[in-house]
Amino acid sequence: MQITHSEFKSYRAVCAEIADIKSQLDARYAGDTVQSGSKHPYSVHNVRIEGYVPDGNTLSLLVRLSDLERLRTAVEEFVDGISDSEIRTIVSLRYIRGKRRPSWQCIATRLGYCSEHTPTRKLQKYFLNGGNGGFPVL
């Protein structure tokens, strides 16, 4: 799957939206235990019934959750597929890890560079030279 720059930039927001949708769905999940004797051997036994409360919004939430999880998985697989360890670290720090996106200077310092331009140029060069068929990053 081809990943775009905007999909990378929105990765953290996608993860936050997944968590939000899951909390909404948790509130719509119901379970109950009933007694049944309608099946062979016709003795009364407890049966657990679980599922989402049926309403119009539940299905749309489940579909949206599925789409977002597919996008999150695609981005993560793309990053895992980057063979160059330094580039994978730059991409991971900039787009994947943490709740906030670190600055280029912070990434440069963490990788041992003095200039913030070094990781940006390395990443841009990697993608412009056809690294994983990706996108140019600025």
Q: What is the DSSP letter of 30?
A: E
- Torsion angle defined by CA atoms of residues 8, 13, 14 and 15, in that order, rounded to the nearest 10 degrees: 110
**What is the per-residue pLDDT across 88-113, written as a single tens digit (0 to 9) for each?**
999 999 888 877 888 999 999 999 99
- Determine the pLDDT at residue 135: 53
Question: Can you tell me the distance from the alpha carbon of 121 to that of 123, in angstroms, rounded to the nearest whole number?
Answer: 5
- Determine the pLDDT at residue 131: 64
Q: What tens-digit pLDDT sequence spans the chain (138 residues)?
A: 667 778 888 899 999 999 999 999 888 888 777 777 776 777 777 777 788 878 878 889 999 999 999 999 999 998 898 888 999 999 999 888 877 888 999 999 999 999 999 999 998 888 787 665 455 444
- Determine the pLDDT at residue 123: 87
Question: What is the dihedral sign for C-alpha 55, 56, 59, 65?
Answer: negative
Q: Is the pTM of this model over 0.85?
A: no
- Determine the pLDDT at residue 138: 45
Beta strands in 13-131 (DSSP E): 29-36, 45-52
- Determine the pLDDT at residue 53: 79
Beta strands in 2-94 (DSSP E): 29-36, 45-52
